[in-house]
Chain A
Amino acid sequence: MRAILLFLLATVTAWSEVPSGMAIRNARVVTVSGAVLPKATVLIRDGLIENVGPDLPVPADAWLIEGEGLTVYPGLVDALSTLGQDARPSGPPAAAAAPAAPARGPEDRPRTFSWERIADKVRAADPRVETARGLGFTSTMTFPVSGIFAGQGAVMNLGDARPSRLIVQSPAGQYLSFALGGGGGGGRGFPSSLMGVIAYVRQCYLDLDYYKQAKAAYDRDPKGRTRPEYDRALEGLAESPRLLFPAVGLSEIDRILRFAKELKQPAVLYGLHEGFRAADLLKTAGYPVIVSTKWPTRQADADPDLVETTRALETRAKAPSTPGVLAAQGIKFAFSSDGQSAADMLRGVRKAMQMGLSEADALRALTLSPAEIFGVADRMGSIEKGKIANLVVTRGDLLSERPRIEYIIVDGVKYLPPVPPATPAAKEMTR
């Protein structure tokens, strides 16, 4: 009951804040796609950026924000998250829970949910959405994460409208995970090893080629032919615009780059904590990457006498330098929260900035780059005429330690940041 009430209130509030237009006048505008405009006006209408530039006339009906002393940024993007999904620990979709009989080969399509679309399941009531928005995030690429083929992700705006209004693009890609079934024994079915998982993925793409051919042949001349069996797993793959592969360490990165090339599918790598060591490989391969901002840390409850390897120490010390290295090499990258809060994600980004990533490159990786990686840069990711009005308005730098956010605009709807319950420092103490 209370939820419904809140939902209604939210809806009413949102609507009440949409006059026919909005204008932010004479603000500093960081367009990301072009030069910083020191003094410009951003016009917003019908959820879109109507225009941006110096000395634009403000329409009479527009809600006017005096931008003196303010900076307008494109809204931030978390390039890989589970935002908008049920907060319960993600497992396979109930309908597709683990089969009773263990899989005996690729033909049984083990741990595959490639046809599932997260766009059909998202809900704005996820409390993490509001938290992220309050810190300047206006979009995310939200993905199902369980299964070898976990399903189709979506680009989603972090507003509070009906879920169907939040989806910017679906499907946005197929999420792959290489979780192991465990053990060399027979009990839990195929595949039980990393090489089994990889072989399975490879076989699926061979099957997809065959499936397409067989269907086409049948459709041309169905009479006298046995119809090909419908395969929802392959249908799911056929409509995946890109594949998201896990790759954290150097050997994994190397392996996935070669595998993606072999599959001839558009690919995006996620994780990349040892990206600082793989710059040459990544540059040569040319695939974009999503860097997890959850930098490795020493295990909190480790044995004090634990012997750590130089390699682990180096990765811990240097992982946050990865974004800077990627930027220097001209490798396209974005950031992901990787299960952390939005605040922790931004801390992670600032850590990368302390280790060599420029503010401009950081900002791009949080806005336009993720839009480009997911093929939606024509509609979002920067402040350009005609793009979706996803904006953050701040007093001072957005990526500073304590940004002062004035407004967040999602799909042209203006939100105020939540009132902090106490000073940020005090809040941290209580965590």
Chain B
Amino acid sequence: MKWIIIGLMAAVLSAQETTVIQNATVYTATKPAFVGSVAFSGGKITAVGDKLIVPPGAKVVDGTGLHVSPGIIDSHSHIAVQGFGVNEGSVSVSSMVQIRDVLDSEDIAIYRALAGGVTTANILHGSANAIGGNNQLIKMRWGKTVGELIMEGGTSSIKFALGENPKRAGNPTPQSGGVARYPATRMGVEDIYRQAFTEARAYQKSLADFKAGKLMMAPRRDLKLEALVEVLEGKRLVHCHAYRSDEMLMMMRVAEEFGFRLATFQHVQEGYKIAKEMALHGVAGAGFSDWWSYKMEVVDGIPFNMAVMTKKGVLAGINSDDAGLMRRLNTEAAKAMRYGGLTEEQALALVTINPAKQMKVDHLIGSIEPGKSADLVVWNKPPLSSYAVPQKVYIDGNLYFERDRDMSDRARRAAAKKALEDQLKQEAPAEQKKGGPPGRRGPANEESGQ
């Protein structure tokens, strides 16, 4: 009843067009599924319920036999980044770099993820160093520019990394040709954090001293330390790549020593072993369902991890770290029903509301509730079914993907490509006469980057 009233009010108050998906099975991610409607207007969900009065002038989408879920949220992705540059691995502390600076709005992986029901992703720095760069939350607004990918109101976060990756540069091979970069062991990884946060504390103090009038001049702004001070002050979330229980325990203790709380362990393969300690620290676990056996630190990875963490009070979530897996996080979540027996709601939450909570954006996205962004997926089958295929994907109420449209457009796209090829073929003879290989290396191509 409450929903109905809100729905009517929205229709009256908003000049924008309201859309209502009617008579579909609705998975809100916070309540059991039911057959009903979802209404949205002005980019936000305005009403959800089993009996919704359609406001006059609303656009009605018949959802009979279809299923509606919140947009999938991938809390660990490296798509939409120019080239392969997700690591500034030259140094052990690269908190001055920002994924935001290298986004690429034309990566086809965006569209493919969208077609798999993903509406939001956290684009993370890589795991080559203990303190990596700053991450960027984006929405899969395919066709828009780089600036428009960035999620409004998204939280700031930084990547940390433990274990084999950050110590790899400390053990250079002849082929990698490199000079050894500290650290080479997990012991050294801990040292990096304690050194960096000690330095950050000193920087924080000099900033405070200046504010208190104890210094004549503001200290030099240091982007590397600024990000770490934000971590100390709880303004920047830490998403920490980790596999083994020992390294995660170390990280929690270091964070506690410096007075901050970690947001998530990423991958978190052995989270099930220390769920108690994680719950106590308040860190969430975000990882894969069943990655294992490809390196030593994942040998104890088990697909029951998500279920154990969930049962023991850890906020668990599933993510991809991979452009391929990103497209099928729904079935990856379903594995938590298979392994460890989570309920359908619990499993769906692993890729919707839980990652939203992990990234502290659950007031904006992650479930079908009035006031949240109208990021919705319409499926042909229940979203956790192996046979579920997204039919429509909305972001902020805008239809960004429609399977029918994609399929009916294929012939046109192929023809357009053919036409381009033909056009270029016709021009080619003239070009050959003119050029031979393009001129010597010169200014604009010399070092223009990618």
Contacts and interface: CB of A to CB of B under 8 A. Distances in A.
B442 A195 contact: no
A338 B443 contact: yes
Contact of A178 (B103, B181, B449): B449
Contact of B434 (A258, A271, A347): A347
Contact of B444 (A80, A197, A200): A80
B375 interface: no
A314 B434 CA distance: 21
Contacts of A292: 444-445
Contact of B424 (A178, A194, A255, A313): A313
Contacts of A338: 439, 442-445
Interface stretch (B31-39, B84-92, B326-334, B354-362): B84-92
B101 interface: yes
Contacts of B153: none
Contacts of A247: 448
A281 to B, nearest CB: 7
Given A186-B181, A310-B417, A180 B90 contact: no
Contacts of A99: none
B90 A191 contact: yes
Contact of B82 (A81, A194, A210): A194
B180 interface: yes
Nearest to B87: A184
Contact of B413 (A189, A281, A310): A310
B423 A317 contact: yes
Given A199-B98, A246-B448, A339-B445, A300 B178 contact: no
Given A214-B217, A252-B82, A313-B417, A199 B104 contact: no
Contact of A145 (B101, B105, B447): B447
A337 B168 CA distance: 44
Contact of A202 (B223, B421, B433): B223
Contact of A213 (B104, B170, B217, B441): B217
A93 interface: no
A106 B88 CA distance: 12
Given A206-B221, A314-B420, A254 B85 contact: no
A354 to B, nearest CB: 10
B105 to A, nearest CB: 6
Contacts of B431: 297
Contacts of B133: 195, 199
Nearest to B447: A177
B441 A102 contact: no
Contact of A313 (B91, B421, B435, B440): B421
A193 B98 CA distance: 11
Interface in B171-226: 172, 176-181, 216-218, 220-224
Contact of B446 (A177, A188, A195): A177
A347 B126 CA distance: 44
A347 B179 CA distance: 47
Contacts of A183: 89, 176
Contacts of A340: 438-440, 442
Which secondary structure dominates where chain B touches chain A? loop
Interface string B408-427: 00000100110011011000
Interface in B143-177: 145-147, 168-170, 172, 176-177
A344 B448 CA distance: 20
Nearest to A340: B439
A90 B444 CA distance: 13
Given A105-B91, A179-B447, A246-B444, A187 B177 contact: yes
Given A190-B90, A191-B88, A195-B97, A270 B103 contact: no
Contacts of A193: 85-89, 97, 102
B90 A192 contact: yes
A47 B77 CA distance: 62
Interface string A90-109: 10000000000011111000
Given A177-B449, A194-B450, A202-B223, A339 B97 contact: no
A356 to B, nearest CB: 15
B106 interface: yes
Contact of A431 (B91, B172, B436): B436
B101 A255 contact: yes
A270 B421 CA distance: 27
B83 interface: yes
A337 B442 contact: yes
A63 interface: no
A382 interface: no
B70 to A, nearest CB: 28
Given A102-B90, A186-B172, A199 B99 contact: no
B449 to A, nearest CB: 4
A374 to B, nearest CB: 14
B441 A311 contact: no
Interface centre among B90, B223, B450 (most CB of A within 10 A): B90
B437 interface: yes
Contacts of A194: 82-83, 85, 101-102, 449-450
Given A105-B224, A344-B439, A196 B97 contact: yes
B448 A177 contact: yes
Interface in A307-363: 308, 310-311, 313-314, 316-317, 336-341, 344, 347
Contacts of A90: 446
Contact of A246 (B83, B218, B424, B447): B447
B202 to A, nearest CB: 16
B127 to A, nearest CB: 9
30 contacts: A104-B90, A105-B224, A150-B447, A185-B90, A185-B128, A185-B168, A186-B90, A186-B169, A186-B170, A187-B169, A187-B178, A192-B90, A193-B102, A194-B85, A194-B102, A195-B88, A196-B85, A197-B449, A206-B220, A206-B223, A246-B444, A248-B444, A251-B105, A258-B147, A270-B443, A338-B439, A339-B440, A340-B438, A341-B439, A344-B439
Interface of A: 80-82, 89-90, 102-106, 143, 145-147, 150, 175, 177-181, 183-200, 202-203, 206-207, 209-210, 213-214, 217, 246-252, 254-255, 258-259, 270-271, 281, 290, 292, 294, 297-298, 300, 308, 310-311, 313-314, 316-317, 336-341, 344, 347, 428, 431
Interface of B: 82-83, 85-91, 94, 96-99, 101-106, 126, 128, 133, 145-147, 168-170, 172, 176-181, 216-218, 220-224, 413, 416-417, 420-421, 423-424, 428, 431, 433-450
| Shortest 5 CB-CB contacts between residues of A and residues of B | A339-B442, A187-B178, A186-B181, A177-B447, A184-B87
